[in-house]
């Protein structure tokens, strides 16, 4: 038996996360997670807490405005963080500071902020404004610039077309 994750918005006020147990041709829903607002961006999936099982991360829109991390095996919450802003861009998961711990990078649209969360705990490692009053609908991109110097560049693209950049240097 294998585990497949499907994310589907059913109605504007309900997000269904549908992990499916697949056995032959007969999948079955393992669990679902109701929300107080829609989730418009794609979810990201990775083992962010080193338990050997994946977590599902996503943001919610107006009237809920949180970043949520769920354990994929049973839908139980790992952590969530209120951004006080619609979160309609997909999160990106990467080790951006070379500490062997995955971070979760998420733009919060209405407040024009970018957040970097510690994957296992959900603690905010840093946040920064984009400098523009706008809507950030594009997910961030993490790119390794130089293997020798261990530098990463984090790009995010607001809807108005500007590209903001944050650089982290490794050891």
Residue 133's pLDDT band, with cuts at 50, 70 and 90, is: low
The pLDDT score that the predictor gives to residue 39 is 82
Q: Does domain 2-169 have CATH number 2.60.40.1930?
A: no
Where exactly are the structural domains of the chain? 2-169
Token readout for 61 is 């829109």
Question: pTM to 2 decimals?
Answer: 0.75
> What CA–CA distance (Å, rounded) separates 54 from 45?
6
The pLDDT score that the predictor gives to residue 24 is 64
Average pLDDT, rounded, for the chain: 75
Token readout for 29 is 């829903």
> What CA–CA distance (Å, rounded) separates 3 from 127?
34
> What CA–CA distance (Å, rounded) separates 61 from 89?
10
pLDDT in tens, 50-107: 999 999 999 988 888 999 999 999 999 999 999 988 888 889 898 888 789 999 998 8
């Amino acid at each position: 038996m294998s585990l497949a994750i499907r994310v589907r918005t059913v109605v504007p006020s309900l997000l269904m996360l549908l992990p499916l147990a697949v056995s032959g041709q007969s999948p079955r829903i393992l669990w679902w997670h109701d929300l107080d607002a829609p989730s418009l961006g794609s979810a990201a999936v990775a083992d962010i807490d080193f338990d050997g099982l994946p977590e599902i991360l996503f943001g919610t829109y107006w009237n809920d405005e949180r970043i949520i991390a769920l354990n994929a095996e049973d839908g139980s919450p790992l952590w969530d963080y209120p951004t006080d802003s619609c979160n309609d861009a997909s999160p990106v998961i990467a080790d951006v500071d070379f500490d062997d711990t995955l971070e979760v990078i998420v733009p919060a649209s209405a407040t024009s902020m970018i957040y970097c969360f510690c994957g296992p705990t959900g603690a905010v490692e840093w946040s920064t404004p984009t400098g523009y009053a706008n809507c950030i609908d594009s997910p961030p991109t993490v790119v390794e610039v130089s293997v020798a110097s261990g530098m990463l560049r984090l790009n995010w693209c607001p809807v108005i077309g500007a590209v903001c950049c944050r650089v982290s240097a490794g050891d």
